[in-house]
């Protein structure tokens, strides 16, 4: 899957989303979302600005760039989940003498909050489960900060912790399977895994608060 979000001239917010499908009977069809003009939806530049404005993230990225390594920010993914959008950006670190960048952080955002972690699963736990965002391994270090709270929503979720953790683990497996199938050229099966991932993410986002 190749995702290319862009911002029209003189406009920062997102006004639509379109995707071409390659899975089974849906091959060659498209999916189009037209966002209502009465609601502002964050565009790619606005999400990037939120990442840059996070003191912990910006400080760590600056530090990495000064230690003989180069920070590479992956493509920002915009994934529709139900009636919301999930923004995901991988951040890689490439050493001077290494030809291969290493994934160091995954940043996830919704319209009302942002979280991050060293893996997709840990970032999900922070975004949806109230875990502490961490720049390295999940911990209670002083450098870690909580995910931005949803406006008007209570911090605790009604979903039992075991069920919440199971959904987060399922989403991580779906993403891993999607990446593997895409690399193997099995686009139809990869498309199905992506749809499964979207359904799990929608469950996480719409669970009772």
Domain ranges of the chain: 16-206
d(CA 133, CA 125): 9
Q: Whole-angstrom Cα distance, residue 128 to residue 146?
A: 11
Each of the 209 residues of the chain gets a pLDDT tens digit; together they read 556 666 677 778 888 888 887 767 777 888 888 888 888 888 888 999 999 999 999 999 998 888 778 999 988 888 888 888 999 999 999 888 777 889 999 999 998 899 999 999 999 999 988 788 888 764 444 333 444 444 444 443 455 777 888 999 999 999 899 889 888 888 788 888 888 999 999 988 887 65
Contact between 151 and 181 (Cβ < 8 Å): no
For 158-193, b where at least 16 C-beta lie within 10 A, e where not — what string?
ebeeeebbebbebbbebbebbeebbeeeebebbbbb
CB distance 167 to 200 below 8 Å = yes
Under a CB-based contact definition with an 8 Å cutoff, are residues 124 and 204 in contact? yes
**Look-up: residue for tokens 């497996």?**
173
Q: What is the DSSP string of 116-163?
A: EESSHHHHHHHHHH-PEE-SSSS---TT-EEPPPPTT--SS-SS-HHH
Among all chains, which residue has been given the structure tokens 């999400």?
47
Instruction: Output the pTM of the full model.
Output: 0.78
Show the tokens assigned to 94: 């490439």
């Amino acid at each position: 899957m190749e995702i290319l979000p862009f911002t029209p001239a003189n406009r920062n917010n997102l006004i639509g989303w379109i995707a071409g499908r390659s899975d089974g009977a849906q091959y060659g069809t498209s999916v189009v979302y037209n966002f209502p003009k009465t609601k502002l939806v964050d565009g790619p530049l606005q999400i990037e600005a939120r990442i840059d404005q996070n003191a912990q993230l910006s400080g760590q990225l600056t530090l990495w760039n000064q230690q003989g390594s180069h920070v590479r920010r992956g493509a920002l993914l915009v994934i529709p989940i139900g009636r919301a959008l999930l923004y995901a950006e991988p951040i890689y670190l490439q050493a001077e003498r290494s030809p291969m960048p290493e994934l160091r952080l995954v940043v996830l955002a919704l319209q009302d909050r942002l979280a991050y972690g060293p893996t997709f699963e840990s970032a999900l736990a922070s975004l949806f489960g109230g875990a502490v965002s961490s720049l390295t391994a999940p911990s209670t270090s002083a450098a870690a900060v909580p995910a931005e709270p949803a406006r008007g929503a209570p911090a605790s979720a009604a979903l039992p912790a075991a069920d919440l953790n199971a959904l987060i683990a399922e989403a991580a497996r779906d993403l891993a399977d999607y990446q593997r199938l895409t690399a193997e050229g099995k686009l139809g099966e990869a498309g199905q895994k992506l749809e499964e991932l979207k359904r799990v993410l929608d469950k996480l986002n719409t669970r009772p608060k």
